[in-house]
Amino acid sequence: MKTIYKQKTLIAVIAAISVLIGASAFNKSAPVKPATDDLQGTISISGAFALYPITVKWADEFKKLHPKVIFNISAGGAGKGITDALSGLVDIGLASRDIDPSEVKKGAYTVYVTKDAVVPTFNTGNPNAAALLAKGVKRSQFLDIFVTGNIKNWNQVAGKVSVPIHVYTRSDAAGAGETWAKYFGKKQEDLLGVGVFGDPGLSLAVKKDPTAIGYNNIAYLYDLKTRKQVAGVHALPIDVNGNGKIDADENFYATIDELTAAIADGKYPAPPARNLGFLFKGKPKKKELVEFVKYVLTTGQKFIDENGYIALSKIKIQEELKKVE
């Protein structure tokens, strides 16, 4: 009887060990499931070409953390984005200009997320290019090109070759146009020139015309891989101190990093440097919206420099975070 009992006990022990080994093997082969992410919903966004590239980057990175959140993002100019947000067509309007008091009355609620600038542009095939790069252009000269029309030939600015100035501007209600006009104390509708839709369109128009002048957000003037200006259309240096030449401390256009550093340090005139923001109709309440804004103002800030934007100060970030608490 004792022998039989010992055999039964041994069998039971072996069986128990087999179960444990089998469970262990199963656990090793079974995939480990990530923690459940309950954040979901759709976030619709439209607006400024200036903010579009970095917003797409933020959305892509946010989706890696929250795959159930869907983004619908389009660029159509700041005016369209603000109108879309205030009319309830989108959750976020990408704003690249100052918000009008009339828009605030309609519920405009802005959270600033980064900074950039509008830069005057010209075609590098301009016969007076070397002189323009050496002398730059004074604010008063830009005014006479874009607003009064008193300057019509490039040799009135720099160089000796007589060629007409072909002015291009934005045809859509744009933060870039409004910001550039503000440099002269004017509105976008006061700017002269052939109207072209969007940042990419305006850059291409200047690139195709050797005697052109225009303006663009900096993200559309530089190659983010090489960090250098794209071929054909370059920034037209601003003679900030008005002494008739580009001094060493005004020559910061060669790479996007030099330019953004100059903007951050206040060496580039403001305007056309400006804050860029997410505009909502009232304080955002949807969980996915609030979490996206918090992400952009915290983890998302690490993508600012590499994408050609200027980070907000730590104090400013804390101020903006309080807006969604």
Q: Mean pLDDT of successive 10-residue segments in the chain (325 residues)?
A: 41 39 40 60 97 97 97 96 97 95 96 96 98 97 98 97 98 95 96 97 97 96 95 97 95 96 91 92 96 98 94 94 96
DSSP output for 117-161:
EEEEEEETT-TTHHHHHHH-B-HHHHHHHHTS----BGGGTSSS-
Q: Are the CB atoms for 292 and 57 separated by under 8 Å? A: no
CB atoms within 10 A of CB 47: 32
Question: Do 100 and 238 lie in a common domain?
Answer: no
**Are 282 and 257 found together in one domain?**
no
For residue 273, the model assigns a pLDDT of: 87
Structure tokens at 168: 């291009």
Q: What are phi and psi of 109, to 5 degrees?
A: -130, 110
Contact 284, 325 (CB under 8 A): no
Q: Are residues 128 and 246 in the same domain?
A: yes
Is the domain of 91 the same as that of 189? no
Domain harbouring 301, CATH code: 3.40.190.10
- CA pair distance 231, 217, nearest whole angstrom: 16
Residue 269 lies in a domain: no
pTM (whole model) above 0.75: yes
125 and 187 in one domain?
yes
Overall number of domains in the chain? 2
- pLDDT at residue 184, as a whole number: 97
| Residue burial 94-129, b: 16+ Cβ < 10 Å; e: rest | bbbbebeeebeeeebbbbbbbbbbbbbbbbbebbbb
Q: Is residue 17 one of the residues assigned to a domain?
A: no
The SS3 call for residue 4 is helix
In a domain, 21, yes or no: no
Q: Do 111 and 56 lie in a common domain?
A: yes
| Shared-domain flag, residues 291 and 160 | no
Q: Angle at the Cα of 180 (from 109 to 308), degrees rounded to 5?
A: 75
Determine the pLDDT at residue 31: 43
- Joined tokens for residue 315: 């104090």
Query: E strand or H helix at 213, and its extent?
Result: strand 212-217
Contact yes or no for 68/301 (Cβ under 8 A): no
Return d(Cα 133, Cα 203) in angstroms, integer: 18
**Are residues 128 and 110 located together in one domain of the fold?**
no
pLDDT at 30: 42
For the CA atoms of 150, 154, 159, 162, the dihedral, rounded to the nearest 10 degrees, stands at -110
Which two structure tokens, joined as six digits, stand for 202? 């305006």
Return the pLDDT at 36: 53
Tell me the residue range of the domain where 307 lies.
41-116+274-322
Residues 235 and 287 reside in one and the same domain: no
Considering the domain architecture, whether residues 98 and 132 belong to the same structural domain is answered as no
**Distance from the first to the final alpha carbon of the chain:** 75
Give the DSSP H or E segment for 20.
helix 2-29
Q: 124 and 140 share a domain?
A: yes
